[in-house]
């Protein structure tokens, strides 16, 4: 269902024309009918001769109700611009056109009304001249009289052509429905209406109400006054919500696909037209049906940073406009370039950012965003409106730019090399330390950096082969211990002997790690292979055997025999019987 908004000066016949086309009354309030002017948004629809049903959002033309007008035009992809033949181009005609141009509306149709009162050609030519210089460009024009019906069939045919040329909406897009009305229906509860421009709504869907993120459930849907199970874009839709009161949702709120949108209070934008230096410092940002106070910080010739009074669900490429309510003018339209921009703290950061923004495109580019950010969460990138770049390295839900990955891998290699040189007895660098050095937000990303010669063992990153590089003094002390153990394999050196040789906990750990000593228990060290020698000797004992028999067979002390038997039992080679004796498991016999 195509949706078209009206635009034009007050009392130029927008509502009258919609009424003539649809047979429906778009003015909803008694005061509107009494004053003969549209104050708030009105809605009506009709089926065109070419087949499709088209809905109209009828907006107010009076300058005092421009915010209401912007709420109607904001989410709509096409416009029916109305100019009266007897008055021609007027101030609100220009303001409405500026708004449409700022929003980059590119599809439209001109209707010159009251053609029975005056020759419509001068008004048509003047209006087309103004429209041609905007985002609408050259558009078809039809002269009509809503009272007599003259030209209405031509207008319906032109509307059919306009509708046929509209771009196809994305049925699978994330939902962002800007609310333009909210009310309560007895027996049903809270109902909101809006123009669905992307994504599909279904009865039973869970949505978020932004800002705030409150979860709600779609209890029912209506489109064109009829209940439906689902609504595809583009469509006027009424949504009956469960889980939210009327007071908690109003015009300017948005119904969103859960966890799919990034709410932001800071955004970098491109201005149209520039320059940024002429903007007032404080403006209203109009996007969708909402208006939020914003502070402007010019950055480049046509770029600026906006700080919003409240977060909004925005994406790269979104179009919006800035309005100066004091001067009653629209100084610029904006295109969102970044919804998660870097903080500008250092001297020169703003100038550098302006240079970067000057190279950025209005169309979301996932690869370019990843290059700029280096590392970003995949769901955050998608929520910003940028597609995931194919083939990007990733781990734990994070994406990494390949260039950044190579740079940080080189940084880590240098750091590990220096760490190994400075701490030769340590078993590499702790993974968390490696994460901090490489400035990775998650330790899982460090594993992406571990190409040879880097390896990860027991939560530590080290250089392949570096573990054997222990100081000569330590190597000599270990050799002396090994020589003593060669004479008595199970005479583990006492603590005072280890200390005498300068073998403390770090040195002994390095000896065990490099396979030069075998640790039986704390303080008990034997030569490598001593466990196999013990198994061979103990096999010669009658089964079961006592700890004393084991001690004698090994020619050692209880200090060594007891932890050695525990080690063999832990490995499943032997097991201890209830009476305290030991025997080999059947598979080991």
Cα gap 291→252, rounded to integer Å: 7
pLDDT digits (tens, 9 = 90+) for 86-126: 999 988 888 888 888 888 889 999 999 999 999 999 999 99
Q: How much is the average pLDDT of 292-302?
A: 94
CB 490 within 8 A of CB 526: yes
Close Cβ partners of 387 (under 8 Å, ≥ 6 residues apart): 364, 366
**Candidate from 391-400, 468-477, 543-552 with smallest mean pLDDT:** 468-477
Q: Are 431 and 459 in contact (CB under 8 A)?
A: yes
What single-letter DSSP state applies at residue 48? Answer: -
Q: Are 587 and 581 in contact (CB under 8 A)?
A: no
Beta-strand pair 319-324/394-395:
unpaired
Please choose, from the candidates 506, 497, 496, the residue with its C-alpha nearest in 3D space to the C-alpha of residue 474. Answer: 506
Confidence at residue 470, expressed as pLDDT on a 0 to 100 scale: 72
pLDDT tens for residues 503-531? Answer: 888 888 888 877 889 999 999 999 999 99
CB 425 within 8 A of CB 510: yes
In whole angstroms, give the CA distance from residue 363 to residue 582.
75
| Beta strands in 248-405, from DSSP E residues, in sequence order | 254-256, 263-272, 282-287, 290-298, 303-313, 319-324, 329-338, 375-377, 394-395, 398-400
Eight-class DSSP state of 409: H
pLDDT band of residue 36 (cuts 50, 70, 90) is very low
Q: Which tokens hold the place of 534?
A: 């013990």
Banded pLDDT at 39 (limits 50, 70, 90): very low
> Which pLDDT belongs to residue 247?
84
- Span 455-459, mean pLDDT? 86
**Cα gap 60→37, rounded to integer Å:** 7
pLDDT tens profile 141-181: 999 998 899 999 999 999 999 999 988 888 999 999 999 88
CB-based contacts of 514, cutoff 8 Å, min separation 6: 467, 468, 470
Residue that the structure tokens 């004698």 belong to: 552
Would you tell me how many other CB atoms lie within 10 Å of the CB of residue 226?
7
Q: Nearest CA to 43 among 15, 67, 81, 74?
A: 15
First-last CA distance in the chain? 82
From 334, 216, 359, select the one nearest 284 (Cα to Cα): 334
Q: What are phi and psi of 20, to 5 degrees?
A: -70, -35
How confident is the model over 214-221, as a mean pLDDT?
93
Interatomic CA distance for residues 69 and 93, integer angstroms? 12
Sign of the C-alpha dihedral, residues 120, 121, 122, 125? positive
- Answer yes or no: is pLDDT of 298 > 60: yes
Q: What is the rounded (10 degree) CA torsion for 392, 369, 336, 239?
A: 20
Task: Check residue 68 and give its pLDDT.
Answer: 55
Domains and CATH numbers, the chain: 3-164 (3.40.50.300), 176-256 (2.40.30.10), 529-589 (1.10.10.10)
**Quick one: how many helices (H) and strands (E) in the chain?**
18, 31
**pLDDT value at residue 67:** 53
DSSP 174-241: PPEEEEEEEEEETTTEEEEEEEE-SS-EETT-EEEEETTTEEEEEEEEEETTEEESEEPSSEEEEEEE
Q: Provide Rg for the chain, Cα atoms.
A: 38
Q: What is the 3-state secondary structure (H, E, C) of 84-99?
A: ECCCCCCHHHHHHHHH
CB 288 within 8 A of CB 324: no
Q: What is the mean pLDDT of the chain?
A: 87
DSSP structure class, residue 147? T
b (16+ CB within 10 A) / e for 275-314: ebeebeeebbbbbbbbbbebebebbbebbbbbebeebbbb
């Amino acid at each position: 269902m195509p949706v078209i908004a009206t635009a034009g000066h007050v009392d130029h016949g927008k509502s009258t024309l919609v009424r003539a086309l649809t047979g429906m009354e778009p003015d909803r309030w008694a005061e509107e009918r009494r004053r003969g002017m549209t104050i708030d948004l009105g809605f009506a629809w009709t089926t065109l001769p070419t087949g499709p049903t088209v809905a109209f959002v009828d907006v107010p033309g009076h300058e005092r109700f421009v915010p209401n007008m912007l709420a109607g035009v904001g989410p709509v992809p096409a416009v029916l611009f109305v100019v009266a033949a007897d008055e021609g181009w007027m101030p609100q005609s220009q303001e409405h056109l500026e708004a449409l141009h700022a929003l980059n509306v590119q599809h439209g149709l001109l209707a010159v009304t009251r053609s029975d009162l005056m020759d419509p050609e001068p008004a048509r030519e003047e209006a087309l001249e103004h429209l041609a210089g905007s985002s609408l460009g050259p558009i078809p024009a039809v002269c009509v009289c809503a009272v007599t019906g003259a030209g209405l069939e031509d207008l319906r045919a032109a509307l059919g052509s306009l509708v046929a040329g509209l771009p196809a909406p994305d049925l699978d897009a994330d939902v962002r429905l800007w609310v333009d009305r909210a009310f309560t229906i007895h027996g049903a509860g809270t109902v909101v209406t809006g123009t669905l421009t992307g994504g599909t709504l279904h009865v039973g869907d869970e949505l978020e109400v932004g800002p705030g993120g409150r979860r709600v459930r779609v209890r029912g849907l209506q489109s064109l006054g009829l209940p439906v199970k689902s609504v595809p874009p583009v469509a006027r839709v009424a949504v009956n919500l469960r889980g939210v009161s009327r007071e908690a949702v109003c015009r300017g709120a948005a119904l969103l696909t859960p966890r799919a949108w990034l709410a932001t209070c800071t955004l970098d934008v491109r201005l149209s037209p520039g320059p940024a230096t002429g903007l007032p410092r404080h403006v209203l940002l109009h996007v969708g049906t909402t208006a939020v106070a914003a502070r402007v910080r010019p950055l480049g010739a046509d770029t600026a940073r906006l700080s919003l009074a409240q977060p909004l669900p925005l994406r790269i490429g979104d179009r919006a406009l800035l309005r100066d309510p004091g001067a009653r003018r629209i100084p610029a339209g904006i295109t969102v370039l970044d919804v998660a921009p870097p903080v500008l703290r250092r001297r020169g950061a703003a100038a550098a950012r302006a240079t970067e923004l000057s190279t950025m495109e209005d169309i979301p580019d996932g690869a370019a965003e990843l290059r700029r950010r280096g590392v970003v969460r995949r769901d955050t990138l998608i929520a910003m409106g940028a597609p995931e770049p194919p083939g990007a390295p990733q781990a734990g839900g994070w994406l990494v730019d390949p260039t950044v990955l190579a740079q940080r891998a080189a940084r880590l290699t240098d750091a590990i090399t220096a760490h190994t040189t400075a701490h030769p007895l340590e078993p590499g660098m702790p993974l968390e330390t490696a994460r901090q050095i490489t400035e990775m937000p998650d330790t899982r990303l460090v594993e992406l950096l571990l190409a040879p010669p880097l390896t990860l063992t027991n939560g530590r990153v080290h250089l392949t082969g570096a573990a054997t590089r222990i100081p000569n003094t330590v190597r000599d002390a270990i050799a002396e211990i090994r020589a003593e153990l060669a004479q008595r394999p199970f005479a583990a050196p006492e603590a005072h002997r280890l200390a005498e040789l300068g073998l403390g906990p770090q040195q002994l750990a390095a000896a065990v790690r490099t396979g030069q000593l075998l640790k039986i228990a704390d303080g008990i060290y034997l030569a490598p292979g001593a466990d196999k020698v013990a198994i061979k000797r103990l096999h010669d004992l009658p089964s079961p055997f006592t700890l004393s028999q084991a001690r004698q067979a090994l020619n050692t002390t209880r200090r060594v025999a007891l932890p050695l038997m525990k080690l063999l039992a832990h490995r499943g080679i032997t097991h201890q019987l209830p009476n305290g004796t030991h025997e080999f498991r059947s598979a080991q016999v």
